[in-house]
């Protein structure tokens, strides 16, 4: 039962149809959550007693950092599925998600450095978490660069899968070695398992932002995947019919 | 099985020694990079001694990376890798033996050269033991991780820079631990913790990387 | 463990192959294919080279893959060897997918690609010694005999980069005299060979087929000597 679903998921046509049903809902959820979270976080949440208003950047910084890390794990999971079950859709997902994850990492780095200016007095501090984030960005660059360097599409996807898996095994080692290298850092702001030290009016909008960012990530990745599926399957009858339906005036050669 | 590994080691050693430039170039590169730093930051002995753990480790890391770029390239270009793929021998064993042979020859030369460069940077002689030990434990990890990148980029015409981009982030733990060990011994503290960590990383990569390397080679040859 | 097992499969194969071809009594209906490609589709860089290709090769058969440049001859050979995975379809050896039995198929296969896998820095003897260590352990004497057979006596110790292109090709082909394997997949084996060597290779391939072996190869060269069960596969017929 689950296996038939699994193989159905591998079919590009089925994916294209089901994702067109998911997308509007997901997009609405993303917009709703992001707007609510931003307004609540930036306007209504109380000031931090130490950092004043400058702390409000965590409503961007923390979700972006979450997505940066989850994004790489997503790459590795897609890579594993692609290598073990040879599912083409996982290849598509991996290559669609890599640039989005990289942008999230850039966002986390930029907001982190902006946050650093009022907090530490400089734009950049070799703080353990910022440094790990920088290394994560390089890991993303590696996957993207490898994917673009290999011309054969299937080989590129497989090579990226191997690299993402090697990277994900290394991430904890890198993280702990960097933390050991620089033990001067703030404790993690927000964990899912422990009750946070922040008051509820502060962390609730943060939670909303995190969920909103996940929805946004899903929407962007799904849209990129749909485009890639259309390009890959451009010779098949259903794609020709789909293009005929959405763009009746143009004829596809 | 052992006879076949012996003939592989013999083949690799022959190939390396018949083209000694490929063996020597990374060593010259290592010495050259170390020599650049005093020219860049100035010849103050105090400053150089303090920087030396990091300098030596960064230079060694780059030299290992440079030596790995061609690890599989000639085997790919002349079709030897196809023969490897189609042999009844397990590919993971083949690549492990090849990378380790390469390390024993080129990595050991690097380790032996390092004390000379360390003394030139003013590292006290009681730190040399830690230096050699940390390089001995760290460079196998560097070689094995680098071989993954070399396997993935072997089919690309200009893979060298890409190899660095893929692999250098993965080298960071070894760099931190290796130069940390040296730093500790420079400050008169025990460095056994870092050395043990380097050893466990070496065991971990020794176990896992042959599979990643052979997967990478299969992808590159199957292109 | 490989030394013991490495020699066995060929003798076993010869018996099964010969018995299967005697069983069929010249009639084609009863035989079973050892190498089979089913509905093979090969796509390279968004271009379909061939589609739904079916190929059955039985014991004792020789198949010459023909077709214009860029029609996918080398790709087909690489697919049959299991070096590449097909866009669609499957390749089977003895009724099982080649990707599922790399090791057992490798024992029965000699692959000589366009790039033959010779090390220029090594001598012919060292090259063959390594190759046989990799595939089928062979004595030093049989390596000498194989080099003798391809006319390279006296060149055993010369590094390969000092040999001509034709001589290098002969070193690669010496594997066919060395390994007791049943399936030979050869990509352009006649390239750079002189007339005598071509004649000799043709005869050697024919003998291999008469003894129950399988040969699949690509060439633009017209064979003078064909074994009884020879056929051509024209890839143009399967082009998309």
| CATH for C60 | 3.40.50.300
Contact A167 B170 (CB under 8 A): yes
Q: How far is CA A95 from CA A22, B155, C44, in A?
A: 20, 20, 19
C44 in contact with A, Cβ within 8 Å: yes
For residue C135, the chain B residues in CB contact (below 8 A) are: 83, 87-88
The verdict on residue C19 lying in a domain is no
Answer yes or no: is C7 within a domain. no
Q: Mean pLDDT across the stretch B72-90?
A: 91
- Which of A135, A145, A159 shows the shortest C-beta gap to B216? A159
Q: Per the domain annotation, does A237 fall within a domain?
A: yes
Helices (H) and strands (E) in chain C, counts: 8, 9
Q: What is the total count of domains within chain A?
A: 1
- Domain assignment of residue A17, yes or no: no
Rounded mean pLDDT of A173-189?
70
Domain contains A12: no
Mean pLDDT of A180-202: 58
State residue C172's pLDDT score: 92
More confident residue, A163 or A192: A163
Asked whether the beta carbons of residue B219 and residue A158 sit closer than 8 angstroms, the reply is yes
d(CA B212, CA A165): 9
Token digits of residue A50: 């130490």
Chain A environment of C44 (Cβ under 8 Å): 152
> Does A252 lie at the interface with B, CB-CB under 8 angstroms?
no
By residue range, what is the domain housing residue A211? 31-45+53-246
Whether pLDDT at B2 is above 90 = no
Given a contact as 3+ CB pairs under 8 Å, which chains touch A? B, C
Q: Which of B173, B219, B222 sits opposite A162 (nearest CB)?
A: B219
pLDDT at C169: 93
Contact at CB, A152 and C46, closer than 8 angstroms: no
Cα C231 from Cα C120, distance rounded (Å): 35
Strand partners, C66: C234
pLDDT bucket at C19, cuts 50 / 70 / 90: very low
Q: Is the pLDDT of residue B140 over 50?
A: yes
Domain count, chain C: 1
Task: Write out pLDDT tens, residues A42-86.
Answer: 888 777 766 777 778 888 999 999 999 999 999 999 999 999 888
Answer whether residue A191 shows pLDDT above 50.
no
Candidate ranges B72-76, B142-146, C127-131, C220-224; pick with highest mean pLDDT: B142-146
Q: CB C85 to CB B7 under 8 A?
A: no
Confirm whether C3 is domain-assigned.
no
* Residue A21, domain member (yes or no): no
Retrieve residue A222's tokens. Answer: 């799904």
Rounded CA gap, C145 and C133, in Å? Answer: 16
Give the ipTM. 0.90
Determine, yes or no, domain membership for C22. Answer: no
- Domain membership flag for residue A109: yes
* C81-117 pLDDT, tens digit each: 989 888 888 899 888 888 888 888 888 899 998 888 8
Is the CB of residue A105 less than 8 Å from the CB of residue A83?
A: no
Confidence of residue C10 (pLDDT cuts 50, 70, 90): very low
| Neighboring chains of C (3 or more beta-carbon pairs < 8 A) | A, B
The stretches of chain A forming alpha helices (DSSP H) are 2-10, 12-39, 58-85, 88-120, 128-149, 153-181, 200-232, 237-246
Residue with more model confidence, C79 or A184: C79
Cβ proximity of C214 and C236 under 8 Å: no
> Which pLDDT does position A3 carry in this prediction?
59
Residues contacting residue A173 through CB under 8 Å, at least 6 positions apart: B173, B201
Q: Kindly list the residues of chain A whose beta carbon comes within 8 Å of any beta carbon in chain C.
A: 151-153
B91-103: average pLDDT: 93
Q: What's the pLDDT score for residue A2?
A: 56
User: How many other CB atoms are there within 10 angstroms of residue C21's CB atom?
Assistant: 17
Is residue B111 over pLDDT 90?
A: yes
The answer to whether residue C6 is domain-embedded is no
Interface check for B83 against chain C (CB to CB < 8 A): the answer is yes
Please report residues of A whose CB lies closer than 8 A to that of B183. Answer: none
Best of C46, C89, C90, C99 to substitute, by most chain A Cβ atoms within 10 angstroms, is C46
Q: Residue A157 domain-assigned?
A: yes
Q: How confident is the model at residue A9 (pLDDT cuts 50, 70, 90)?
A: low
**Mean pLDDT confidence for C136-162:** 88
In chain B, residues with a C-beta closer than 8 Å to the C-beta of C179 are none
Instruction: Tally A–C CB contacts below 8 A.
Output: 5
Chain A residues with CB under 8 Å of C46 CB are 153
Question: From the CA of A178, how many Å to the nearest CA of chain B?
Answer: 7
Burial C37-71 (b: 16+ CB within 10 A, else e): bbebbbbbeeeebbbebebebbbbbbbbbbbeeeb
d(CA A165, CA A159): 10
Predicted confidence (pLDDT) at residue A117 exceeds the cutoff of 70: yes
Contact C106 B19 (CB under 8 A): no
Residue C18 lies in a domain: no
pLDDT for the residue numbered C178: 87
Residue A18 covered by a domain:
no
Quick one: average pLDDT of C133-161? 88
Beta-carbon pairs below 8 A across chains A and B? 72
Residues 6+ apart with CB under 8 A from B68: B102, B143, B146, B147, B149, B150, B163
Question: In the prediction, which pLDDT does B1 show?
Answer: 62
pLDDT at A143 over 90: yes
For the segment B147-165, the average pLDDT, to the nearest whole number, is: 90
Distances B211 to A172, C15, C100 between C-alpha atoms, Å:
20, 37, 17
Q: Which residue has the higher pLDDT, B1 or C144?
A: C144
Chain A residues touching B173 at Cβ < 8 A: 170, 173-174, 177
Q: Is the Cβ pair B168, A138 closer than 8 Å?
A: yes
Write down the mean pLDDT value for chain A.
84
What is the least distance, in Å, from the CA of C111 to any CA of chain B? Answer: 7
Within-domain flag for A3: no
What is the nearest CA distance from A168 to chain C, expressed in angstroms? 26
Q: Give the residue, A194 or C102, on which the prediction is more confident.
A: C102
Per-residue pLDDT, C1: 35
Provide, as residue numbers in chain B, all residues whose Cβ is less than 8 Å from the Cβ of A158.
Answer: 219
User: What pLDDT score was predicted for residue C7?
Assistant: 38
Per residue in C205-218, pLDDT tens?
999 999 889 999 99
From edge to edge, which strands make up the β-sheet containing C35-44?
Answer: C47-57, C35-44, C88-93, C96-97
Q: Which residues of A touch B216 (CB under 8 A)?
A: 159, 162
Q: What is the pLDDT of residue C26?
A: 44
Q: How far is CA C75 from the centre of its chain?
A: 14
Residue B142 scores a pLDDT above 90: yes
User: Are the Cβ atoms of C119 and B15 closer than 8 angstroms?
Assistant: yes
Find the CB nearest C134 among B18, B77, B83: B83
Average of per-residue pLDDT across A212-230: 93
pLDDT: is C68 or C22 the higher one?
A: C68
Residue-wise pLDDT for C73-85, tens only, equals: 999 999 999 898 8
Question: Is the Cβ of B14 closer than 8 Å to some Cβ of chain C?
Answer: yes
In a domain, C4, yes or no: no
Please judge whether C117 and B77 are an interchain contact, meaning their C-beta atoms are less than 8 angstroms apart.
no
Neighbours of chain B (3+ CB pairs under 8 A): A, C
pTM of the model: 0.87
With the CA atoms of B162, B164, B169 and B175 taken in that order, what torsion angle do they form, in degrees rounded to the nearest 10? 170
Test A135 with B155 for CB contact under 8 angstroms. Answer: no
CA nearest A161 in B: which residue? Answer: B216
Give all strands of the β-sheet with C214-218 in edge-to-edge order: C109-112, C183-187, C214-218, C62-66, C230-234
pLDDT at C25: 42
Inter-chain residue contact A153 with C44, CB threshold 8 Å: no
Across the interface, of B145, B177, B223, the residue whose CB is closest to A177 is B177
Q: How would you write B11-61 as a 3-class SS string?
A: HHHHHHHHCHHHHHHHHHHHHHHHHHHHHHHCCCHHHHHHHHHHHHHHHHH
From A227-236, B7-16, C124-133, the region with the lowest mean pLDDT? A227-236
Closest chain C residue to B7, measured at CA:
C130
CB atoms within 10 A of CB B149: 29
Cα C13 to chain centroid, rounded: 16
């Amino acid at each position: 039962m689950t296996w038939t679903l699994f193989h159905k998921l591998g079919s590009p046509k089925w994916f294209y149809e089901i994702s067109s049903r998911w997308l509007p809902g997901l997009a609405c959820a993303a917009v709703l959550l992001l707007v609510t979270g931003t307004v609540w976080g930036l306007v209504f949440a109380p000031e931090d007693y130490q950092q004043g208003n400058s702390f409000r950047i965590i409503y961007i910084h923390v979700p972006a950092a979450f997505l940066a890390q989850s994004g790489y794990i997503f790459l590795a999971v897609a890579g594993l599925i692609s290598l073990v079950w040879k599912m083409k859709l996982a290849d598509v997902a991996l290559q669609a998600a890599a640039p989005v994850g990289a942008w999230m990492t850039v966002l986390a780095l930029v907001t982190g450095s902006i946050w650093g200016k009022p907090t530490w007095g400089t734009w950049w501090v070799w703080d353990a978490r910022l440094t790990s984030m920088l290394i994560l960005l390089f890991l993303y660059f590696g996957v993207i660069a490898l994917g673009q360097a290999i011309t054969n599409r299937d080989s590129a996807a497989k090579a990226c899968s191997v690299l993402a898996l090697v990277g994900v095994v290394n991430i904890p080692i890198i993280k702990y070695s960097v933390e050991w290298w620089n033990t001067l850092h703030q404790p993690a702001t927000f964990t899912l398992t422990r009750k946070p030290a922040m008051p509820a009016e502060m962390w609730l909008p943060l939670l909303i932002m995190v969920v909103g960012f996940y929805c946004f990530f899903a929407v962007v990745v799904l849209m990129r995947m749909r485009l890639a599926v259309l390009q890959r399957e451009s010779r098949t009858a259903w794609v020709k019919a789909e293009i005929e339906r959405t763009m009746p005036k143009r004829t596809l050669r | 099985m052992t006879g076949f590994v012996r003939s592989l080691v013999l083949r690799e050693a022959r190939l390396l020694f018949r083209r000694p430039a490929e063996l020597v170039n990374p060593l010259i590169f290592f010495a050259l990079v170390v020599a650049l730093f005093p020219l860049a930051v100035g010849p103050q002995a105090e400053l150089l001694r303090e920087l030396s753990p990091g300098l030596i480790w960064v230079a060694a890391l780059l030299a290992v990376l440079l030596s790995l770029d061609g690890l599989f390239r000639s085997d790919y270009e002349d079709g030897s890798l196809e023969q490897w793929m189609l042999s009844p021998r397990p590919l993971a064993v083949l690549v492990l033996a090849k990378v380790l042979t390469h390390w024993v020859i080129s990595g050991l030369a690097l380790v032996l050269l390092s004390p000379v460069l360390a003394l030139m940077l003013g590292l006290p002689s009681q730190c040399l033991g830690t230096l050699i030990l940390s390089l001995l434990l760290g460079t196998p990890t560097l070689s094995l991780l680098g071989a993954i990148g070399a396997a993935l980029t072997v089919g690309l015409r200009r893979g060298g820079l890409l190899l660095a981009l893929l692999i250098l982030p993965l080298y960071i733990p070894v760099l931190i631990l290796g130069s940390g060990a040296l730093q500790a011994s420079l400050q008169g503290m025990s460095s056994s913790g870092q050395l043990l960590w380097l050893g466990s990383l070496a065991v971990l990569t020794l176990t896992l990387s042959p599979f990643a390397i052979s997967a990478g080679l299969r992808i590159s040859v199957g292109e | 463990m490989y030394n013991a097992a490495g020699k066995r499969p060929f003798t076993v194969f010869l018996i099964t192959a010969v018995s299967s071809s005697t069983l069929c009594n010249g009639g084609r209906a009863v035989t079973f294919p050892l190498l089979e490609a089913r509905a093979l589709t090969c796509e390279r860089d968004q271009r379909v080279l061939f589609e739904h290709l079916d190929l059955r090769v039985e014991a004792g058969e020789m198949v010459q893959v023909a077709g214009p440049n860029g029609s996918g001859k080398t790709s087909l050979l690489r697919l049959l060897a299991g070096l590449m995975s097909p866009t669609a379809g499957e390749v089977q050896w003895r009724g099982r997918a080649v990707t599922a039995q790399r090791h057992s198929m490798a024992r029965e296969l000699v692959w000589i690609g366009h790039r033959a896998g010779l090390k220029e820095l090594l001598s012919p003897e060292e090259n063959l010694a390594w190759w046989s260590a990799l595939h089928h352990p062979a004595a030093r004497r049989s390596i000498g005999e194989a080099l003798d057979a391809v006319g390279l006596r006296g060149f055993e110790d010369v590094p390969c980069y000092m040999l001509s292109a034709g001589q290098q090709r002969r070193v690669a082909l010496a594997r066919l005299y060395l390994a007791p394997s049943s399936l030979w997949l050869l990509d352009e084996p006649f390239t750079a060979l002189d007339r005598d060597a071509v004649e000799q290779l043709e005869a050697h391939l024919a003998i291999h087929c008469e003894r129950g072996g399988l040969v699949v190869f690509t060439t633009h060269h017209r064979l003078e000597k064909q074994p009884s069960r020879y056929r051509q596969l024209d890839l143009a017929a399967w082009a998309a």
